[in-house]
Amino acid sequence: MSSPEYIIARKTIKAKILKLSEEEEELLRQEYENFQRYLRGEKTVPLYAATKQQADRFLRRINGKLKEMEYPLMLRNDTYSIRIERSPYILKIPIHGVWGGIRVPIKTHEPITGNMRLREAKVIRRGNEWFVHICVEKKVEERIPKNILAIDMGIRWIATTVNSSNPIPKFYGKELRRVKGHFFYLRRSLALKKAYGAIKKIGDRERRIVNDILHKISREIVNEALKTDAMIALGDLKGIRKSDKGNRFNRKLNGFPYYKLSKLIEYKARWLGIKVIKVNERNTSKLCHRCGSKGIRKGSLFECQSCNYTCNADYNGAVNIMKRAIRYMRMAGAGLTQPITR
């Protein structure tokens, strides 16, 4: 029997800083604002040395192209610590000129356990409140898949899934389309009134709602993969925005958060030891999954003119991704069950 294979899985745990004394808040505010000034070229501002190094690394990564926004205060993993033996957790934040930094209580959206290793953390200011995003990693045993859960991303449905153990597809994104459409027309109406402040506010609200929907979709997809002992096959998103099919289509295409959803699926699956592979999407929407001939798409339907087969176009794409993934895995020596299709 072969020994199990392990992977390193990472995720971000979000937390709120619960309480700061006036002195602590002033120290944190100074460090945070000096970090903003350092990013914008004021290299002599008083700032914790390791935090300066993090800022320099970040500037190199983005080639110095800063946006007009506040950036999170970046903490190197060996400069901060979290005491998790009691609730609430206690976070130590390094501050320039303060021995031992400041220690503040935080409430996380999920537990930090002893098998997790702390990576970089980011302190974020929102209005009068402070938050911290903590990157953690752990060693996970990779699951041996018996099935494949294939995902096709599109306009009508942001994700259509097909499981090799079940011929019935699942469609995700009806609520997302409604939300994106609502905020698009709301922004257009406010733009006509030149209410630019209101546009920014609704943009923030839209982002929160969309992120919540994406988390729910990704969680449901990963849970299915876990329940059916499936690996996940994602269509490679390279070039997804290069098509030109009219202003209305292109606006919807560019407004859909495909990359965000794919990254959520990847990290949630990896955290549970579920294998994720990327599959070349070339022609998966054009070829009939039954006979392999080129067909045509009419609205939401795919029609094969060779074998006269008709089905949902997104379902056809997902099945083609699944079959392509099965070929890849069999070439690699994986034992997968024969897919069931309609």
pLDDT at 241 exceeding the cut of 60: no
**Residue 234 domain flag:** yes
**Residue 337 domain flag:** no
**Residue 275 domain flag:** yes
**Residue 290 domain flag:** yes
Identify whether residues 215 and 135 lie together within a single domain: no
Query: pLDDT tens digit string along 256-268?
Result: 688 899 999 999 9
**Residue 106 domain flag:** yes
CA 256 to the chain's CA centroid: 13
Identify whether residues 49 and 153 lie together within a single domain: no
Which residue carries 């009219």 as its tokens? Answer: 246
Among residues 141, 173, 200, the one where a domain terminates is 141
Give me the CATH number covering residue 248.
Answer: 3.30.420
Of the candidates 271, 294, 281, 247, the one whose C-alpha atom is nearest the C-alpha of residue 160 is 281
Domain count, the chain: 2
- 337 exposure class (CB count in 10 Å sphere: 0-12, 13-18, 19+): middle
Identify whether residues 110 and 154 lie together within a single domain: no
pLDDT band, very low/low/confident/very high, at 317 (cuts 50, 70, 90): very high
Query: pLDDT tens digit string along 137-160?
Result: 999 999 999 999 999 988 789 999
pLDDT at 244: 44
pLDDT band, very low/low/confident/very high, at 342 (cuts 50, 70, 90): low
∠ CA 135-141-143, rounded to 5°: 115
- 176 exposure class (CB count in 10 Å sphere: 0-12, 13-18, 19+): buried
**Residue 340 domain flag:** no
Identify whether residues 97 and 195 lie together within a single domain: no
Q: Which residues are CB-neighbours of 18 under 8 A, at least 6 positions away?
A: 88, 104, 105, 106, 107
Identify whether residues 123 and 165 lie together within a single domain: no
pLDDT at 44 exceeding the cut of 60: yes
What pTM was computed for the model? 0.82
Identify whether residues 92 and 194 lie together within a single domain: no
SS3 letters for the chain? Answer: CCCCCEEEEEEEEEEEECCCCHHHHHHHHHHHHHHHHHHCCCCCCCCCHHHHHHHHHHHHHCCCCCCCCCCCEEECCCCCEEECCCCCEEEEEEECCEEEEEEEEEEECCCCCCCCEEEEEEEEEECCEEEEEEEEEEEEECCCCCEEEEEECCCCCCEEEEECCEEEEEEECHHHHHHHHHHHHHHHHHHHCCCHHHHHHHHHHHHHHHHHHHHHHHHHHHHHHHHCCEEEEEECCCCCCCCCCCHHHHHHHHHCCHHHHHHHHHHHHHHCCCCEEEECCCCCCCECCCCCCEEEEECCEEEECCCCCEEEHHHHHHHHHHHHHHHHHHHCCCCCCCCCCC
Domain of residue 185 covers 147-331
Identify whether residues 59 and 45 lie together within a single domain: yes
pLDDT band, very low/low/confident/very high, at 193 (cuts 50, 70, 90): low
Identify whether residues 239 and 293 lie together within a single domain: yes
Query: pLDDT tens digit string along 276-301?
Result: 999 988 888 899 999 999 999 888 89
Identify whether residues 83 and 109 lie together within a single domain: yes
Identify whether residues 209 and 103 lie together within a single domain: no
Identify whether residues 159 and 286 lie together within a single domain: yes
Identify whether residues 297 and 161 lie together within a single domain: yes
Give the residue with greater pLDDT, 119 vs 331.
119
Q: 16 with 131: CB under 8 angstroms?
A: yes
